[in-house]
Amino acid sequence: PVSFIFLRDSAGMDMGLKRLVVLSDGTQYENQVLLRSELTHLKRLSRRLSRRQKGSKRWWRAKDQLARFHERIANRRADHLHKLTTELASTYAVLGMEDLNVVGMLRNHHLALSLADASFGEIRRQLQYKSDWFGGRMVVIDRFYPSSQLCSVCGVKNPGLRLEDREWTCQNCGTQHDRDANAARNIHAEALRLLNQTPVVATSGS
C-alpha cells in the first residue's frame, strides 16, 4: 500500500441497475448502459455477418467490424469502471458492499444485458485491490443481509418490500426511504459492525 490521506472515513455502497452505485452519504453514480445504448448497431452488425458467406472476404470484413464494435464497448466500459473504482477507493478509508450473487443474477435473461453493462463483479474486484493499494479496507456484507428491507432509522424490517418498490415508508417510525439510499446506509452500518463498530480514522494508509 501507499501512504495516502483519505478524504472521508467510511461509506456503504448499494449497487443496482437504475443507479450503478448509491453511497450512504448520498453520492450517486449513474449506470452508463454502454452496450444497451448501442444495441441497434450491434444487431445490424450481427445481421450483416450472418448474411455473408462464411470465409468470404465480405464475411471477414463484417466479422472484423463486429469485433471492433465489441472492443470499443469493452474499452469504454473499462475506462469508466477504472475511473469510478479509483475515485471510491481513494476517497473512503472503509467501503462496505454486498456480496452479490452475480452468476445467479446473470441467469435472469431479462437482466443479463443490463448486468453485463453494470459489471458488478468487476467493480468488486477492482475495489478490492485498489482499497488494498491505497491502504483502505473493503468490507463485504453477507448476500442474505436484508439491506433493502431494514429501516435505517429504527431497524424494523419490511418483509413485504417488492423489487419494484423504489420508495417506501417505515410502518414503525414513519420514515420515508429511497430504496437504494436506505440499503446503502444499512450496508454502511453493518460494515462498521463487522469492524467491531469502530470507524476507521481517515488519516494515512499503511
- Tell me, yes or no, if 99 is annotated catalytic: no
Q: Which of 9, 14, 30, 167 is catalytic?
A: 14
Active site residue 71: no
Choosing from 71, 87, 180, 190, which is the catalytic residue?
180
Residue 79 bears catalytic tag: no
Q: Which of 38, 64, 87, 98 is catalytic?
A: 98
Residue 36 to residue 117: CA distance in whole angstroms: 8
Active site residues: 14, 98, 180
